[in-house]
Amino acid sequence: MKIGELELGERPLFLAPMEDITDPSFRYICKKFGADVMYTEFISSDGLIRDGKKSLRKLDIFDHERPIGIQLYGHLIDSMIEATHLAVNAKPELVDINYGCPVRKIANRGAGAGMLRNIPLMMEMTRAIVQASPLPVTVKTRLGWDEESKNIVSIAEQLQDCGIKGLTIHGRTRNQLYKGHADWTLIGEVKNNPVMKIPIIGNGDVDSPEVAKQMFDRYGVDGIMIGRAAVGRPWLFRDIKHYLATGELLPDPTISEKVDIAEEQFRRSLDWKSEPVGIYEMRRHFSNYFKGIPNFKETRIRLLTTLDVEEIISILAEIKSKWGDLRTNQQSHFWSE
């Protein structure tokens, strides 16, 4: 699979951009476990061009993460063009446009999945960004705004005509948010449309090696993007790759191994975000890393409420000592993909 001139090999796995999730600390861990392509947290074009501190920090990328894309969202073409120039200056391999975020405050002002209600503006914006970027431009979107407007087949053709080099499709409408099941049939229809020449990446509900193989085999997608299922389970990328290559399912890591992984991510989170933000934003990861441990409620509450770094490290050591040899095969689900 190639995006522009970027060679990604067969059946690559992508880490989905997730707000307050796919920061450098989590990306480092996912890359370590075999994610082929990653994206930054999505970045507001308005925040970026106004020198918003949080938005600017999201442009921080590192050589060990490559190839990596910077994802932008916004509802004004001029702002998105200016943000594209700033993103390109950060030297990623890709610029991605977010036409899929369903969050009300974003979609209702016409950004993210809100663009699905204004297809002409979506195409005008896409053409302008493609023209402004010397890097390959990709798009992430959904099947449509609601059940009555699942027009992704037509949208995909038009986006390709605008010059994008790859398209990721989440198998839900905007109105579904993250509820129900992702419908991959329309993703497969886009992929198997003879008009389409660009790579199609499927996204939604891929939470195991078996499901990943099923989606590759049944729908013929070029790549798969994984979001919620990797939170607290970054080894999912490794497990999928191993299963695709051998047909063998790897055992879930022991709790002791999970503690080591979680602690490495936690220390990197502190290095990048400092206290207390690095602690707050690690809590959702901790919660998922240790799902399925019996009689864990009291320890979980302590782990997710303290703001003392040394106490957190001590609790992690306690978890390792008490449950270290245990294996839990708990699938991870979080709110955003």
Residue type, position 114, single letter: G
Q: What is the C-alpha to C-alpha distance for residues 123 and 143, in angstroms, rounded to an integer?
A: 16
Q: What is the C-alpha to C-alpha distance for residues 301 and 306, in angstroms, rounded to an integer?
A: 9
Block residue for tokens 């990653």: 38
Q: What is the C-alpha to C-alpha distance for residues 276 and 266, in angstroms, rounded to an integer?
A: 12
What is the pairing mode between strands 2-3 and 6-7? antiparallel
What is the pairing mode between strands 37-39 and 68-73? parallel
Concerning whether 101 is annotated as a catalytic residue, the answer is yes
Its sign, for the CA torsion 269, 270, 271, 277, is positive
Q: Which of 101, 107, 155, 201 is catalytic?
A: 101
Q: What is the C-alpha to C-alpha distance for residues 66 and 45, in angstroms, rounded to an integer?
A: 22
CA 255 to mean position of chain CA atoms: 25
- HSE-CB for 57 with a 13 A CA cutoff: 11
Phi (first) and psi of residue 169, to 5 degrees: -120, 120
In degrees, rounded to 5, the angle at the alpha carbon of residue 232 between the alpha carbons of residues 38 and 7 is: 20
As annotated, the active-site residues are 101
